[in-house]
Structure 1
Amino acid sequence: MNLIDAAGMLALGTRLQRLSERLRKEGAQVYKACGIDFEPKWFPVIYTLTLKPVLGVVEIAEEIGYTHPSTISLLKELEKMKLIRSKKDKVDERKRLIQLTAKGRQLVEQMRPVWDGITAALTAITDTPHNLMAAIREVEEKLETQSFEEVAKEKMGLTVPRT
């Protein structure tokens, strides 16, 4: 056991980040083994656009739960790879509408069986007595009612101003 593992709850964020990085790295290897040039970090945008074919930047950010700047960064990469394109909204010309290109749609069709395999693998890995997906959902629900910052300040006896 290394020091981060031994730190327990204090290092929860670090351990979740480490797990996420490992899943992304190994996910990239799965795509590569299947002959697909795809970065797992692109998944939330690509997947969202398969279900909602035309969305504004703000709507994509809301759907994937990322900040606007993080979403813009991903969109720039995807546009550079010619997997998405943007066009101005005819109603509101300040708004950019994003959609998959033909190349993006073709890539999605290639990835569908890979997504099935990845889903099966992740289901097997997380199928434990303390099911990870259920635990994540529970923690996210708790954070909707009270932020981590608020709970931490409360536990330390600091006053928590409500906005």
Structure 2
Amino acid sequence: MYLSSLRELAIGSRLKALSDYFYQAVDEVYRASGAGIESRWFPVLRFLRDVGPTTVTEVAAAIGQTHSAVSQLADRLVDAGMVVRQRDPGDGRRSVLTLTDAGERALGALGPVWLALRRGMAESLGPRMLDLLDAIDGCEQALAERPLVAAVMDQRAALSRESVEVVPWDRAYADHFRRLNQQWLERYFRVEDVDRTLFADPENIVIQPGGAIFFALYAGEVVGTCALLHEGDGVYELSKMGVDENFRGLGAGRRLLDASIDAWRQRGGKQLFLESNSRLGRALGMYERAGFVRQETIRPGSHYERADVYMVYEGKP
């Protein structure tokens, strides 16, 4: 499922989907059982029965919904004859919601249906039902103690003080080398056999022959990578430049490029080239600003089917 791959970023959407599923399922059970209520009415009706006449504000606070949402729901319940609005006998300036006789009768007949719902959920979800309820309890408590918006904004402020750091090859980051490059290859082209071979063993193919692989880190997260391949006789290829599309604008690509050029110089390289594609206009512009010059033809014996651009570094030696 796509949303599950987004983890925390899609928690609201996933919970919304689950909520809609449960509402729909319970409504179907209510209809099949001849119950006169809807699942979305349940918390208000049950609260009014258990507590007695109550204001919209108090109901909203008790069931964790907005005043506007409860007010609109109350209008529907009034129209359905389940609830009436009355003047508060203790304070004539405000009104309270009161359960009607019809509402009392509807709830009074639902015991067997609710028992079936409890047992049916236990059968369908098994031990996950209790895990889910405990998790919801824990989330509600944690959010009451530390509101989410405040926590996120504190993290955002801390991240604004971070900068991109470029580090050399580390086996712990090997999968990010594949992930970041596969991301742009699959988006714009396709992963070729030469790419798969490199992803399968970057240490022996790149590092051992005298090349280098760099990673761009932002607050400890790997957001970019590139490789410097040694072709032999002082000839090096800048390759596999990939930056996470969600972290553009941080300068990760240019920092990786500068680190690769520096590594080429330190190795006493005679030539530095790259192969790319004319569709990647932003990347080509960065290469040109760094000192790469586009050649008139593609490189003889090119490794890649996708390559239609050949550039050679003519910047500072």
CA offset at residue 46 of structure 1?
0.6
> What is the alpha-carbon distance in structure 2 between the residues aligned to residue 71 and residue 121 of structure 1?
28
Q: Deviations over 1:55-107 (max 9, x none)?
A: 12222112111111111001000000000112101331121121111110110
Q: Secondary structure at the match of 1:97?
A: strand
Q: Secondary structure at the match of 1:33?
A: helix
> What is the alpha-carbon distance in structure 2 between the residues aligned to residue 76 and residue 129 of structure 1?
33
> What is the alpha-carbon distance in structure 1 between the residues aligned to residue 15 and residue 129 of structure 2?
18
Aligned twin of 1:136 = 136
C-alpha root-mean-square deviation of aligned residues, in Å? 1.9
> What is the alpha-carbon distance in structure 2 between the residues aligned to residue 30 and residue 10 of structure 1?
32
> What is the alpha-carbon distance in structure 2 between the residues aligned to residue 140 and residue 77 of structure 1?
28
> Which runs of 5 or more residues in structure 2 are unaligned?
160-317
CA offset at residue 126 of structure 1?
5.8
Q: What TM-score, normalized to structure 1? A: 0.88
Q: Deviations over 1:4-33 (max 9, x none)?
A: 222122111100000000000010000011
Q: What TM-score, normalized to structure 2? A: 0.47
> What is the alpha-carbon distance in structure 2 between the residues aligned to residue 85 and residue 7 of structure 1?
44
Q: Is the 8 A contact 2:121 2:129 kept in 1?
A: no
Q: Residue 70 in 1 paired to residue 69 in 2? A: yes
> What is the alpha-carbon distance in structure 1 between the residues aligned to residue 90 and residue 117 of structure 2?
39
Counterparts in 2 of 1:76 and 1:7: CA distance versus 1, 3 Å: same
Q: Secondary structure at the match of 1:46?
A: helix
Larger fraction in strand: 2
> What is the alpha-carbon distance in structure 1 between the residues aligned to residue 99 and residue 126 of structure 2?
31
CA offset at residue 130 of structure 1?
7.7
Aligned twin of 1:24 = 23
> What is the alpha-carbon distance in structure 1 between the residues aligned to residue 48 and residue 134 of structure 2?
25
Q: Secondary structure at the match of 1:96?
A: strand
Larger fraction in helix: 1
Code of the aligned partner of 2:138: E
Aligned twin of 2:34 = 35
Tell me the percent identity: 26
| Residues 75-86 of structure 1: pairs in structure 2 closer than 5 A | 75-86=74-85
Q: Is the 8 A contact 1:126 1:132 kept in 2?
A: no
| Residues 42-61 of structure 1: pairs in structure 2 closer than 5 A | 42-61=41-60
- Which stretch shifts more, 16-25 or 89-98? 89-98
Aligned twin of 1:112 = 111
Q: Secondary structure at the match of 2:96?
A: strand
- Which stretch shifts more, 135-144 or 117-126? 117-126
> What is the alpha-carbon distance in structure 2 between the residues aligned to residue 19 and residue 90 of structure 1?
40
CA offset at residue 156 of structure 1?
2.5
Code of the aligned partner of 1:101: T
Q: Greater relative contact order (Cα 8 A, min sep 6): structure 1 or 2? A: 1
| Residues 135-154 of structure 1: pairs in structure 2 closer than 5 A | 135-154=135-154
> Which runs of 5 or more residues in structure 1 are unaligned?
none
Counterparts in 2 of 1:72 and 1:16: CA distance versus 1, 3 Å: same
> What is the alpha-carbon distance in structure 2 between the residues aligned to residue 126 and residue 154 of structure 1?
38
> What is the alpha-carbon distance in structure 2 between the residues aligned to residue 73 and residue 127 of structure 1?
36
